[in-house]
Amino acid sequence: MIKRILILCILVAVSIYLIVAVTIFNRKPENQVCKGMELVVKDSVDYGFITEAEVTKLLKQKNLYPEKKRIGTINVRQLEEVLSQHPFISRAECYLTSGGKVGIEIYQRIPLLRIMSSNGDNYYIDHSGKIMNATGKPIHVAVATGFIDRKFAQQELYELGLYLQRNPFWKAQVEQINVTPKKELEIVPRVGDHILFLGKATDFEEKFSKLQTFYSKVLNRIGWNKYERISIEFNNQIIGTKKED
């Protein structure tokens, strides 16, 4: 009986010790000094819109750069809110690491198109269809001009931007998109002295696939500057207007 009580007391003592030890080791001392930040920028291999230097500069401007600050004074939620205000940051996740640093994971906003409307609007549409302001930073995307309101930009032009983003050939080839008063699309290509007329902003995959076939079978044979206008508005039909001699 005494032996059982002794074993039970030992087990209780060990359990209490383990609970206390885990609590102590997992608790970050309030006075511990932060050793810096560990930054991970998602999609940084493909897109370099946000850099560690920019993150550091932004946090220092707001007096929130964590290095050498006491752990107890660092508000990671506040860091997330400030970083998320950057035009190229979609979302930021901040946390304290076991090594005494602040971990920061940043998800970038990817611009699809630049909108320069006849009404004076000048902004970008990002990969989520949201409007973003990115003045002062060069971004190589197609420019949409003409009669564009924000609803048209965030719906029809957004779908076109997604298609171009997924298709390397057309992403490189499409330089400008002009929207007519009838909300029809004219494309200015980088290669070729002609205008591509798409008509209404629908069926992008079918239209560009048909046009790519025309490029490879016709323009590669007769030359890229024979036409001044190529229309792919209608199904199963391409209408080319040749230049006057």
pLDDT band for 152, please (50, 70, 90 cuts): very high
| Cα–Cα distance, 181 to 2 (Å, whole number) | 95
Q: Given a cut of 90, is residue 66 above it in pLDDT? A: yes
| E strand residue ranges, the chain | 37-41, 89-96, 102-108, 111-117, 122-126, 131-132, 142-146, 174-179, 184-189, 195-200, 227-231, 239-242
Q: What is the mean pLDDT of the chain?
A: 86
pLDDT band for 236, please (50, 70, 90 cuts): confident
Q: Which of 7-11, 111-115, 219-223, 224-228 has the highest mean pLDDT?
A: 111-115
Q: Given a cut of 90, is residue 167 above it in pLDDT? A: yes
Q: Hey, what are 149's tokens? A: 């309101």
3-state secondary structure of 112: strand
State which fold the 111-242 domain adopts: Rossmann fold (3.40.50)
pLDDT band for 160, please (50, 70, 90 cuts): very high
| Residue range 224-242: mean pLDDT, rounded | 83
| Cα–Cα distance, 71 to 34 (Å, whole number) | 6
Q: Given a cut of 90, is residue 133 above it in pLDDT? A: no
Neighbours of 111 (CB within 10 A): 23
| Cα–Cα distance, 131 to 58 (Å, whole number) | 21
Domain boundaries of the chain, sorted by first residue: 37-108, 111-242
State which fold the 37-108 domain adopts: Ubiquitin-like (UB roll) (3.10.20)
Please give the pLDDT value at position 244: 73
Higher pLDDT, 243 or 162: 162
Using an 8 Å Cβ cutoff, are 238 and 230 in contact?
A: yes
Instruction: Enter the pTM of the model.
Output: 0.76
Please give the pLDDT value at position 30: 63
Please give the pLDDT value at position 25: 46
Using an 8 Å Cβ cutoff, are 116 and 49 in contact?
A: no
Place of tokens 């070729």: 192
Please give the pLDDT value at position 17: 52
Reported as a single tens digit per residue, the pLDDT across 9-58 is: 565 555 565 554 445 445 545 678 999 999 999 877 677 788 899 999 99
Q: Given a cut of 90, is residue 198 above it in pLDDT? A: yes
Long-range Cβ pairs for the range 69-73 (8 Å, 24+): 69/33, 69/34, 70/30, 70/31, 70/32, 70/33, 70/34, 71/28, 71/29, 71/30, 71/31, 71/32, 71/33, 71/34, 71/96, 71/100, 72/30, 72/31, 72/32
Q: Given a cut of 90, is residue 175 above it in pLDDT? A: yes
